[in-house]
Structure 1
Amino acid sequence: MSSDEALLERRYHVLGRNAPLFYERPVHLVSGKGVWVTDADGREYLDVYNNVPHVGHCHPHVVEAIAKQAATLNVHSRYLHETVVAYAERLTATFDSSLSSAVFTCSGTEANELALRMARYRTGGEGIIVSDFSYHGNSQTLAAVTTCFPVPEAFPRFARKVAIPDPYRDRHDRSDEELSNHFAAQVDAAVKSLQADGIKIAALLIDTVFANEGLHDPVPGYVAKAVEIVRAAGGLFISDEVQAGFGRTGDAMWGHQLSGVVPDIATLGKPMGNGHPIAGLVGPTDLIDSFGLAATYFNTFGGNPVSAAAASAMLDVLEREHLLENARNVGAYVKTGLRALADKHSIVGNVRGRGLFFGLDLVKGDADRSPATAETKRVMNLMRENGVLISRIGRHDNILKMRPPMVFAKEHADRLLATLDDALASI
């Protein structure tokens, strides 16, 4: 038995056999730098998946900020601290002026759970609308409304799920206006269905780039129409920015800005501290003040000084290294390369994405564009064997998902594209 096999058996024993691992042959990582990670045998892999180290693995500026603050003071959130307040000021300044206050948590799950509590408090409603292939967290409430993989919790009476438009599969000669109207009508039907059961809508909870759903090309007007319907019924719009936020798209700091709609609450997570556990939400000051008075909400570790130092340092790097511009430029370069691969390999049905977030919809060679699920899994594992880490998403697990750290450069893109070309050619 190899050392990795032995470690895997130990993991099974203490973490359970079903704690998720990537790839048919799991990768035993021991270090990382920038867009590269290294395994226990000293082999380097190009990381084209992880958005947690948003500005690169072990960025020295973030590491230094964490170490300096950890060596000075770390306490829970019920003391005054300049770094925490300064970070909140800096963060909220990147949002619309209506989103003027922040509450910090440790995870995106906590942020979305708290956002739903606030929405229910503000509206007096209970109803939640999510997409029919989404994930927003693993608390009991959020697990129950998860629709992208099995959970033991029953889908609740207070929730409804709606389909999200995918122009590649749903166009059927319809214009953007017709497509947005068709799918917005599902939101309207969901609101009316809740009302028919005596349930008032509290919130629409979506990721506006619809990452888990498959990173579909946006349909102009859809999000705005969906939000208008929910607000007209008395509900709030919660924008989950865990995957789309912090400049990932290259064209905006936050995903919702691309839809032209300002949310009532925005939730943040994974990339916020470049791997250090910090998350949170941003919302109107009056809502956060009134909810806090009613709920006496606090989070022991959420936004502690070390976490705030990490998050502030991540913003430093994002700004100093012009990483939104990098996402825009390198993302365009990658998409051009992916389109060339689509022209070369018939299995590639659709190229999608924006900034440093892109995907390939792999399909069979039939008229129905049947999802090539098994082939997608094979490509992902071939890429791993050839030193490039990617993943897969979508209802049929047939969309290759690529979401590298924001320091991803053109030479890294060339390595990705060449390796992907070989993998597609071999299936």
Structure 2
Amino acid sequence: METFSKDETLSMRRKFIGESVKLFYSDDPVKIVRARGQYLYDENGQRYLDCISNVHHVGHCHPDVTQAATAQMELLNTNTRFLHDNIISYANRLSATLPDKLRVFYFVNSGSEANDLALRLAQQYTKHEDVIVLDHAYHGHLKSLIDISPYKFRKLSGQKDWVHVAPLPDIYRGLYREDHPNPGEAYADTIKDVIDDVHSKGRKISAFFCESLPSVGGQIILPQGYLTKASEYVRSAGGVLVVDEVQTGFGRVGSHFWAFQMQGEACCPDIVTMGKPMGNGHPLACVATTEEIARAFTANGVEYFNTFGGNPVSCAIGLAVLNVIEQEDMRGNAIRVGAHLKDLLTKLRAKHQIVGDVRGVGLFLGLELVTDRKLRTPATDVASMVVRRLKEERIFVSTDGPFESVIKFKPPMCFSKEDAELVVEKIDRILTVITP
């Protein structure tokens, strides 16, 4: 395979790749040529600590995963119209991690495909079209998902009349904050308000789409009881609860395999979508749903067929990922390292006035910067500067949130306490220099 200098690679990319396909650090992009674990290496052999690649869930190029892929690729890779054991074995393993009623699986290739299929399932089952979503939500890049992603549609074609936006349950800068006696119930009541408004217009709800932990919204942790109460309102209105675990599934929160499980046993979605971490970088995603919803989907008389979804190689990779999560106690690591990182970030807040909030769970954390703690004014420019300075220290992070003022941490699950200490030490030094 040909190799090029960094400048040649960049020049050819600009020639052949669509301009809207953005690069990290667009002013001075990094050329990455290999990776292992939580580390990335550029063309000069410089090592970078990766704090953002939640796709490479069990670590870049994990040998067990690459071996499983290679072995199956050498044996067979075909579509799911032939019987094969891998897809059944994988579905069986996934079902053991989910509530009993979620026992029907549709394998696809990306989180976007999964959420598009979930939308079809919900609308077919309920015979309704309208969808409730959270403000600042992002569910994928297909047109159907741009339509239900305020993060995108506010910049593009605008809001469709069948899409209804509920407030983001953000207890730091939302309608109901940390001093509210029951923010979970208060935010759930906003879902009821949306439903009442929809009904007043003579329309009916098909689904409430909700990320278990809104990521683009700013690494938000849903207040306790929110999803359970909101789902009661949605089901009473004839709709279903679709939980988007594309960013947060497979043990990232540590305490549970799925982030929605943090809401308690009473919280049981009707549809769960999953993607990014499933294949550790290989395109693999899935929709899990109930037998009742699956039967309604079959009853429409249109066959569902996905050429690559659930192929033997993808499922072999998925099985290997599950094995590594278990064998290397990656959920336990997320608990231990995540708690250590959160504690270190909280100490930063005590030292630097610009740190407004530290939030998150497991290896899903956010550090929100503000220019005024009382007013909670987002420090967007400072957050961007911290990202650039950390790159100079060979650490990759990025920002999210409505104002791009939240530095987010979603590293590979093999992230260590030493990695956490290095990141926070560098942030501390940067904030000491650039802020009063």
With the shorter chain as reference, the TM-score category is over 0.9
Aligned equivalent of 1:120? 123
Q: Equivalents in 1 of 2:109, 2:23: separation in Å? A: 22
Q: Equivalents in 1 of 2:312, 2:298: separation in Å? A: 21
Aligned equivalent of 1:95? 98
Query: What letter matches 2:371 in structure 1?
Result: K
Aligned equivalent of 2:223? 219
Does structure 1 residue 199 correspond to structure 2 residue 195?
A: no
- Alignment partner of 1:273 out of 269, 275, 279: 279
Does structure 1 residue 372 correspond to structure 2 residue 375?
A: no
Query: What letter matches 2:184 in structure 1?
Result: S
Measure how far apart 1:266 and its partner are: 0.3
Conserved? CA contact 2:172–2:178, under 8 Å: no
Q: Equivalents in 2 of 1:366, 1:359: separation in Å? A: 16
After TM superposition, list the pairs within 5 Å mapping 1:388-427 onto structure 2: 388-427=395-434
Query: What letter matches 1:377 in structure 2?
Result: S
Task: Name the SS of the counterpart of 1:75 in structure 2.
Answer: coil
Task: Name the SS of the counterpart of 1:358 in structure 2.
Answer: strand
Aligned equivalent of 1:263? 269
- Alignment partner of 2:184 out of 172, 175, 180: 180
Measure how far apart 1:293 and its partner are: 4.3
Does structure 1 residue 292 correspond to structure 2 residue 295?
A: no
Q: Equivalents in 1 of 2:221, 2:279: separation in Å? A: 28
- Alignment partner of 2:36 out of 8, 33, 37: 33
Aligned equivalent of 1:64? 67
**Residue ranges of structure 1 left out of the alignment (5+ in a row):** none
Task: Name the SS of the counterpart of 2:75 in structure 1.
Answer: coil
Any idea what the Cα deviations from partners look like across 1:226-260, whole Å, max 9, x if unmatched? 11111110000000001111000011000110112
Q: Equivalents in 2 of 1:224, 1:242: separation in Å? A: 20
Q: Equivalents in 1 of 2:123, 2:299: separation in Å? A: 15
Task: Name the SS of the counterpart of 2:407 in structure 1.
Answer: strand
Q: Equivalents in 2 of 1:299, 1:75: separation in Å? A: 11
Any idea what the Cα deviations from partners look like across 1:12-56, whole Å, max 9, x if unmatched? 221122211112421111100000000112110000110111000
Aligned equivalent of 2:111? 108
- Alignment partner of 1:247 out of 246, 251, 270: 251
Aligned equivalent of 1:233? 237
After TM superposition, list the pairs within 5 Å mapping 1:268-347 onto structure 2: 268-294=274-300, 295-347=302-354
Any idea what the Cα deviations from partners look like across 1:131-181, whole Å, max 9, x if unmatched? 11010011111111221245433311101011122222245674342x334
After superposing the two structures, state which structure 1 stretch, 300-309 or 4-13, moved more: 4-13
Measure how far apart 1:80 and its partner are: 0.5
Does structure 1 residue 163 correspond to structure 2 residue 167?
A: yes
Task: Name the SS of the counterpart of 2:173 in structure 1.
Answer: helix
After superposing the two structures, state which structure 1 stretch, 204-213 or 396-405, moved more: 204-213
Q: CA RMSD in A?
A: 1.5
Task: Using the aligned pairs only, state the percent identity.
Answer: 39
Any idea what the Cα deviations from partners look like across 1:348-385, whole Å, max 9, x if unmatched? 11101100111100000363120000110110111111
Any idea what the Cα deviations from partners look like across 1:319-372, whole Å, max 9, x if unmatched? 000110110011111111111111111111110110011110000036312000
Query: What letter matches 1:116 in structure 2?
Result: L
Q: Equivalents in 2 of 1:122, 1:196: separation in Å? A: 22
Task: Name the SS of the counterpart of 2:193 in structure 1.
Answer: helix
Conserved? CA contact 1:176–1:220, under 8 Å: no
Aligned equivalent of 1:4? 6
Measure how far apart 1:63 and its partner are: 0.2
Aligned equivalent of 1:381? 388
Aligned equivalent of 1:15? 17
Aligned equivalent of 1:75? 78
Query: What letter matches 1:257 in structure 2?
Result: Q
After superposing the two structures, state which structure 1 stretch, 380-389 or 149-158, moved more: 149-158
User: CA 1:98/1:380 → structure 2, altered by over 3 Å: closer, same or farther?
Assistant: same
Any idea what the Cα deviations from partners look like across 1:188-245, whole Å, max 9, x if unmatched? 1221222233221000001121122112343222222211111110000000001111
Q: Equivalents in 2 of 1:165, 1:332: separation in Å? A: 23
Aligned equivalent of 2:213? 209
Q: Equivalents in 1 of 2:119, 2:319: separation in Å? A: 26
Conserved? CA contact 1:144–1:151, under 8 Å: no
Conserved? CA contact 1:35–1:405, under 8 Å: yes
Q: Equivalents in 2 of 1:299, 1:224: separation in Å? A: 33
Structure-2-length-normalised TM-score: 0.94
Q: Equivalents in 2 of 1:8, 1:373: separation in Å? A: 28
Task: Name the SS of the counterpart of 2:386 in structure 1.
Answer: helix
Conserved? CA contact 1:248–1:324, under 8 Å: yes
Q: Equivalents in 2 of 1:172, 1:392: separation in Å? A: 22
Q: Equivalents in 1 of 2:60, 2:430: separation in Å? A: 26
